[in-house]
Structure 1
Amino acid sequence: MITYRDAMREALREALDRDGRVFLMGEDVGAYGGCFGVSRGLLEEYGPHRIRDTPLSESAFVGAGIGAALGGMRPIVEIMTGNFSLLALDQILNNAATLRHMSGGQLGVPLVIRMATGAGRQLAAQHSHSLEAFYAHIPGLRVVSPATVADARGMLWTALQDPDPVVIFEAIALYNSEGELPPDSGAVDIDRAVLRRAGTDVTVVASGGTLPIAESAAERLAGEGISAEVIDLRSLRPLDETTVLESVARTHRLVIVDEGWRSVGIAAEIAARAAEHAYYELDAPIARVCTAEVPIPYARQLEEAALPQPEAVAAAVHKAVS
């Protein structure tokens, strides 16, 4: 058994050991060990040339990471929270995502950007939002969201092989979660969604921090005789619509769980694609269970009320199958 946090640290170790071009940079990643403890101990193991503490300027250190990638290195840039990444959005959107296109294929930016995302730790509005849809909207980026310890361990090395920028969203609520990690676990596929639980009555789609919510709801529903199939998207751009549509063709009902806001989000995109390509497979309206359209509250009970919960997912499934 290993925690999600420790799985990410093992992934960083593997990357640093296997490729001398790899280095980690970001706020407090060195002496402090990372805001969420992911890089704890790595400075002592690899030294300040490969574990680099940066000034508190997201635009500056993401820009430095882009320059290093253009120069032949394989930087891993850590942004403390998804909210803070907006301070580097110009670098990510206008530079990292566009340079291959604007150079006619002459330049690539093999950069990995890691950032914590989501709520559940009472960190309030400026540290808790799920902004995956912002980045999944941008051509030129690959956007992934590991939901299990195996994917937390295995996605980083796969991402580092990509010749273009990859953004990895790590759910804050998952860092303390535990799972079984086989000794021979390694790189994992980041192109395809994965079936986490087979079912016959309804397809429940989730990703990142919402996967445990979906699985918990599916377990409750099983006790009521409702068989829910759970799909983990893994990748948000490109989106593996094929796996989702194949599942909908089996179950004929679709519920989407998304920690982002309901309006113009990942759930809306999946619902649109299902309506476009699987309309005649659906026996009930598509349901979305999303975060309330408010800034994330600080108070524990309000934060929980704003976020998708298993009870809300189960209620949406009941409505779909009724």
Structure 2
Amino acid sequence: MSTNIEWADETINPIVGCSRISPGCQKCYAATAAASPRLQQFPQYQVVSIWDGTVEFVKSQLIKPLYWKKPKRIFVCSMADLFHANVPDEWIHQVMAVAALSPQHTFQILTKRPERMKEYFSQQSLWVKWYEAAKENLWDAVNEKFGGLINLQQDFIDQPFPLPNVWLGASTENQQMAEKRIPILLQIPCSVRFLSCEPLLEEIDLRQGGAIQKLISDSYEWELVNEDIQWIVVGGESGPNSRPCHIEWIESIVQQCQKSKTPVFVKQLGANAQHEGQPFKTRDKKGGDIEEFPKHLQVREFPVPVRE
């Protein structure tokens, strides 16, 4: 594992740069990291250091998965939002082409802009656009594998849709964003839909949007609708001056998932974890050491992908 993100094996950043759009962005780790001396040594981060919506494409990052033989879970664009308004479709085509050409990997794509994600995946004949992107921009990286463009084209013709190795997620940091973003995510065809409730800024009732399950009349019985959302990641905020995350809020998410038999991954308690109104101290500065979690929150599950 070469990333600090516990639910991924690798991260790739073929696009960097973004801008804030909702409360979860207020203390964006990516904005802080992009302006840090560690990343300012790289030209792409010098371009996006102000975090004003400027975006930059990085081909050397894009093609990495093509050379990884061992299957990996890959978080795409941890330093950007792939579906930011300033990201051209042509760049997204290249990212999706790499995913199609790397069926051994799982590509985890998370957005705070599911409207753009829906618009993108509603396009007709996407496989043609992905093939054209591969032919124009990736042929030097894949020509030995395919030998000729006709073979490359056939590979894209044979691709299932949605791609079974692409997971699409939405960030839902509070109730408002959950109710806004989940209904849009549910309209997008994909193998696995997931939510990132991080940074968790308040208790979220996922029943209200019908995201995981629906409420049956007034009886408070749970009915699993497992074709809707297949995975939940939850965690508190980290970094300097982090906003509080109450452990009771994480407990609520975990309980909702367990009732609906939805896999849940408790990523971290956060740097400002609270329990019963008091600070919950951890040695790990992000509250990310699972051994320091309350026992009933030591849960890190992954979904089993299903095709639509």
Give the TM interval when normalised to the shorter protein: 0.3 to 0.5
Higher relative CO (Cα under 8 Å, sequence separation at least 6) belongs to: 1
TM-score with structure 1 length normalisation?
0.31
TM-score with structure 2 length normalisation?
0.32
